[in-house]
Amino acid sequence: MAPAPLSPIKVGHIEDVQELQKSKPNKVPERFIREGNERPAFVISQESASSDIPVIDLSNFSSPGLDDFLSETLRLSHACEEWGFFQVINHGIEMEVIEEMEKAAKEFFGMPLEEKQKYPMEPGTVQGYGQAFIFSEDQKLDWCNMFALGLHPPSIRNPKLWPTKPVRFSEALEKYSREVRKLCEGLLRNIARSLGVKEGRFEEIFGEAVQAVRMNYYPPCSRPDLVLGLSPHSDGSALTVLQQSRDSCVGLQILKDSMWVPFQPLPNALVINVGDTIEVLTNGKYKSVEHRAVTHRERDRMTIVTFYAPSYEVEVGPMAEFVDDETNPCKYRRYNHGEYSHHYVSNKLQGKKSLDFAKISTI
């Protein structure tokens, strides 16, 4: 079942942050200013650092040496269990494909507003140019412009939203997304092995996997201490692949032991995170971790984020191997993934609240 359309809601006028930053570089409207405990400087980790976030070398999974293969598998399971986030190197996607995508996305955000508004994210939808996840006039806004497109299966595409300018945009996105899809398929096989289940297990459950992309552009902000680039959330996907443009400053932060750890990926690495679906399927053994983005006073930042998830038709719930009435009671109910997706996009981003949809109450 494809997610039903959302009902239109009154969200007031949402200012385009890029335009705001160009015309009034020192102004931060009230609607962007966070409460004290949501502000970026609150509980930043001094102990954990980017350098502790696991790096997975994917070439070791095709290495003829059994030792490399096994130790990388162990590292992967540690990364998913302890961090929910890791970065992959030697991922096999050609630099040229990544650079072309990055160039096309940058050019898109660099176009005049009227041009970008030809592809609007209409109220009640999640594809196109605009700000998603806004449901009321008093909700705080993120310092970010987004452009989102459904990619796969073809039935979720909205061809009217595929830009004709920049001219190479569609070609770059098609190539990039084919490669990222292969990467996700391979990662899921390795994640299955790291859990001790059959390699093709996730593929069997997922059916024709859904893939979507969201490009996030964070302009500089004169008060990065007061605003967030992206509100704290976990991802509603199974896996997420994040590519940060090369000249970007640090912006992504992940919540570890109740503190925000800044994450600056290695050059040429892709950032991977476990989404809500993997948390449910593994009955919480691998967790989707809360993360957010912050802004910078002088520098902009762009990320290209791919969400990979089961078909809307399938039913998901904890896999039997991870449930045991005594030590590991079932924490999530079974549900239809299309309904979950609908639930996810019809609520504001709010930490890990999205998973309440699936949680079995223990009281």
Positions in the binding site for ligand OGA (CB under 6 A): 214, 216, 230, 235, 251-252, 291, 293, 303, 305
Q: At closest approach, how far in Å is the CB of 85 from Ni ion?
A: 10
Q: At closest approach, how far in Å is the CB of 236 from Ni ion?
A: 9
β-bridge partners, 243: 304
When CB distances are held under 5 to 8 angstroms depending on the partner's kind, the choice from ligand OGA, Ni ion, none that residue 293 binds is ligand OGA
Q: State which residue, 139 or 328, has the beta carbon closest to ligand OGA.
A: 139
Residue 71 phi/psi, 5-degree rounding, is -70, -30
Distance (Å, whole) CA 307 – CA 278: 13
The CB-nearest residue to ligand OGA is: 303
Distance (Å, whole) CA 65 – CA 235: 35
Who contacts 111 (Cβ-Cβ below 8 Å, separation ≥6)?
A: 165, 166
Cα dihedral angle (240, 241, 247, 252), rounded to 10 degrees?
30
Q: Is 72 a binder of Ni ion (CB under 5 A)? A: no
Task: Return the H-helix or E-strand segment holding 303.
Answer: strand 301-309
Distance (Å, whole) CA 147 – CA 128: 5
Site track for Ni ion across 274-293, x = CB under 5 A: --------------------
Distance (Å, whole) CA 6 – CA 212: 18
**CA-CA distances (angstroms) from residue 169 to 163, 166, 178, 293, 356?**
7, 5, 14, 25, 37
When CB distances are held under 5 to 8 angstroms depending on the partner's kind, the choice from Ni ion, ligand OGA, none that residue 280 binds is none
Subset of 233-252 contacting Ni ion (CB under 5 A): 235
Q: At closest approach, how far in Å is the CB of 363 from ligand OGA?
A: 31
Q: Is 179 a binder of Ni ion (CB under 5 A)? A: no
Distance (Å, whole) CA 128 – CA 148: 5
Segment interacting with Ni ion (CB under 5 A) among 72-80, 163-171, 228-236, 275-283: 228-236
Who contacts 356 (Cβ-Cβ below 8 Å, separation ≥6)?
A: none
Q: At closest approach, how far in Å is the CB of 48 from ligand OGA?
A: 17
Q: State which residue, 104 or 144, has the beta carbon closest to Ni ion.
A: 144
Q: At closest approach, how far in Å is the CB of 264 from Ni ion?
A: 16
Q: State which residue, 304 or 319, has the beta carbon closest to ligand OGA.
A: 304
Q: Is 142 a binder of Ni ion (CB under 5 A)? A: no
**Residues making contact with Ni ion (CB under 5 A):** 235
